Structure 1
Amino acid sequence: MKRLKIFFTKDLLFTVSFLIAIISCYFGTFSLNSIDFKVIFCLFGLMLFVKNIEKLGLLNYFAEKMIDFSATSRSLIRNIVLLSFFSSMILTNDVAILTLMPIYLTIIKKFPAMENKIAGAVLLIVAANLGSSFFPFGNPQNLFLFSYFSLSTATFFEWALILLLFSILVLLISFLFIKKRPIPKQTNLLPIINKKKMFFLSLIGLFILLGVFNVFPYFVVIPIASVLLIVYDKEMIRQVDYKLLWTFVFFFIAVGNFSQVEMISTFIKEQFTTTTHTFFGSILVSQVISNVPAAILIAPFTDQVQTLFWGVNIGGLGTIIASLANLIGFKLYKEYYPTHSKKFILQFTFINLVFLICFVLFFSFLL
């Protein structure tokens, strides 16, 4: 009993998602179709891959390089946040966070007295969510909307460009609130990287990305890559955050079950009939069940595609569960700073709400 208590109280997000999934089974019939297995498979493969390159010393290498390019704490945070923003367009928001957050955390470990550490991590997550909105494959909700409504490429980019330009503007303004402190010159030598191991891991990483981008079937590519990584280093299988994977599974189950409730379906159908209702409604729903399930849930009940697109992408801002990518960033930060969970949640919520208000005010004029 004591072990069970520790297990469930150590990670409250996991516990809450588990309870919600259990409760939802009362309202709907559980179906495996509710679970997005691609997300689960890809997350597992990527986490296993990142753990391996972290052990190789590659993250430390990139951290040192990033420090060399930055003279102050503000420029350091700005550089990695903008890198997160632009790389997420191609890598997707999940992959950008999984790749860059460990590098950022490796950097700030070198400067214990550095201010705005949490703010930098939050901005990195925000940037990944916003940047990934520019391409159809940048995040799951856009890929779904692009396919479901058979959007033309020109139409999609017309909507996305407005979001992109305003995102850059707000991010640049946000950097002004980061304290500008000089970074001490580093005398550490760059870590020596085993080139053969790096080449092997690079091939595996490329292999995983081919699965993420649907070049090859993910259910074939990811298991093969994972087996190769486990054979390469058996210890890494223990380093994967399985609670995060189950948290995603529980959220998928809950959304699938609740969406079967006729009262909820009827309510959604009645609400999402106008541009204003669709915009604000999709943002609000995203805050509760995250933006990917929100897009899937609302799409069949509305013809307001543009405002739904803006709503679910902006809706990734706000609560910690507004985007599943937020959970990834939080869990990674918690691994490095286990005692900072409450501080992180508070700062995350505050910064995200400020961003959310800015975006809502701006896009309200475009409706």
Structure 2
Amino acid sequence: MTAAEKAGRSLLRRCISLLGGEPVLSALVVALIATQWRHPRAWTDLPRLVDWPTVMTLAGLLILTKAVELSGVLMWLSHRVVHRVRSERTLAMLLIGLAAALSMIVTNDVALFVVVPLVLSLDKLTPLPVKRLAIFLALAVNAGSVLTPLGNPQNLFLWQTSGVSFGRFVIALFPLCAVLMAMLYGLAACAFAPKPLDLSRDAVSQPVDRPFAVAAAILFVAFVLLADAHHPGIGLAAIGFGFLIWRRDAVLRIDWALLLIFALMFIVLRSVAALPAIREAIAALDLSTPLRAYVAAGVLSQGISNVPAAIMLAEFTRDWRALAFGVSIGGFGIAIGSLANLIAVRLVKKRGIWMAFHLVSIPFWIVGGALGAWLLSVSS
């Protein structure tokens, strides 16, 4: 066997091993093969379907989050938190509120990159139900981000295309956000016990690499501003090159599989959304009433995610409020409904979290969907 054949077999084994340990990645590969078989598209055209600014933004956030973690500042902050919050339930309520509030300002994805690593650091000091917390944080950023045009990409899209003012958008979405947050806090009160935190693992606070922490914090803010100004590539190149020279572990130890999953999701979901059968089926639904547009958005998001659903359905109805309600609800349910769900689950990396997530998220989607329909009907 030649050296090239050995290298080829080694690469194949690594790919099979990767797919075997990544069910979402495996499902996306199968879906890609199926869509290419049914409706073939030139393989060289597929990269054009990827929203590269989003992928570059995600890559930059992964690097910066890893840098913050390696600096030790999260462990220092966790040490401070556990000595001021005495019960598991209080801690959960605090983290849910923090995640929701951040998601209204810096988008749901960025909020998760702040709060989830904090939870993982807290778990090193006191035993926490990390899986449960991650699930509730995913729900929290989806619920909180409903309120403002800045909260998530679908809101930004609908705000820009609708032409309404920032204030009017917030007022229109406030009732749904309030109901979802009330549901979430009620559920959290049942899911988390008021038992005291076990601080037996809490030793002396870990020292902080201050220059590294300060640099990571400044770069985090700068990168978010660059991404918001639609220049994530410049920011990614700068922090990637800089950290490779200074602290390469901040680059080499990020979740590369998550980036691949996101790239494949754009290819698969946009390929499915472009299928003639899908577009014909939506056109036949007659989305002339708010309730029909709402239901279509909430259901379609379960199959192609809420951002593509918003973009696609905007071609068939001008009722931006019904669409905003629908895609907001569509972020719950199946994990693929919102990319934030996938980020939360991937950041935690706990066995069995996919099943646990859907046992909470799907009922939340059903109940929230019913309440959203009621809110839409009484205010139309």
TM-score by length of 2: 0.89
Aligned counterpart for 2:321 among listed residues 303, 306, 309: 306
Aligned counterpart for 1:238 among listed residues 231, 247, 252: 252
Matching residue of 1:63: 78
Aligned counterpart for 1:42 among listed residues 57, 60, 78: 57
Matching residue of 2:141: 128
Quote the Cα distance in structure 2 between the aligned partners of 1:313 and 1:57. 35
Q: Which amino acid aligns with 2:32?
A: A
Give the superposition deviation at 1:168.
Answer: 2.5
C-alpha contact 1:28 1:261 (8 A) present in aligned 2: no
Aligned counterpart for 1:22 among listed residues 26, 33, 47: 33
Q: How does 1:77-116 map to 2 (within 5 A)?
A: 77-112=92-127, 114=128, 116=129
Give the superposition deviation at 1:185.
Answer: 4.2
Q: In structure 1, the residue corresponding to 2:177 is in which secondary structure?
A: helix
Matching residue of 1:347: 356
Quote the Cα distance in structure 2 between the aligned partners of 1:8 and 1:176. 38
Q: How does 1:159-178 map to 2 (within 5 A)?
A: 159-177=172-190, 178=192
C-alpha contact 2:60 2:235 (8 A) present in aligned 1: no
Q: How many residues align?
A: 358
C-alpha contact 2:99 2:111 (8 A) present in aligned 1: yes
Give the superposition deviation at 1:239.
Answer: 1.1
Q: Which amino acid aligns with 2:206?
A: P
Matching residue of 1:144: 157
Structure number with bigger Rg: 2
C-alpha contact 1:211 1:222 (8 A) present in aligned 2: no
Q: CA RMSD in A?
A: 1.8
CA distance 1:355–1:260, shift in 2 (3 Å): closer
Matching residue of 1:222: 236
Q: In structure 1, the residue corresponding to 2:293 is in which secondary structure?
A: helix
Task: Give CA-to-partner distance per residue, 1:166-217, whole Å, 9 cap, x none.
Answer: 1231122122211121113465232222322222222211211112322x62
Give the superposition deviation at 1:244.
Answer: 0.9
Aligned counterpart for 1:12 among listed residues 23, 29, 38: 23
C-alpha contact 1:207 1:225 (8 A) present in aligned 2: no
Identity of aligned residues (%): 25
Stretches of structure 1 lacking an aligned partner (at least 5 in a row):
none
C-alpha contact 2:75 2:121 (8 A) present in aligned 1: yes
Give the superposition deviation at 1:127.
Answer: 0.4
Quote the Cα distance in structure 2 between the aligned partners of 1:60 and 1:193. 8
Q: Note if 1:182 corresponds to 2:193.
A: no
CA distance 1:32–1:151, shift in 2 (3 Å): farther
Matching residue of 2:367: 358
User: After alignment, is 188-197 or 282-291 more displaced?
Assistant: 188-197
Matching residue of 2:7: none
Q: Which amino acid aligns with 2:275?
A: V
User: After alignment, is 145-154 or 122-131 more displaced?
Assistant: 145-154
Matching residue of 1:204: 219
Q: Note if 1:286 corresponds to 2:301.
A: yes
C-alpha contact 1:282 1:315 (8 A) present in aligned 2: yes
Q: In structure 2, the residue corresponding to 1:170 is in which secondary structure?
A: helix
Quote the Cα distance in structure 2 between the aligned partners of 1:9 and 1:327. 18
C-alpha contact 1:84 1:96 (8 A) present in aligned 2: yes
Quote the Cα distance in structure 2 between the aligned partners of 1:163 and 1:68. 35
Task: Give CA-to-partner distance per residue, 1:233-263, whole Å, 9 cap, x none.
Answer: 1123221212111111111112222233222
C-alpha contact 2:79 2:125 (8 A) present in aligned 1: no
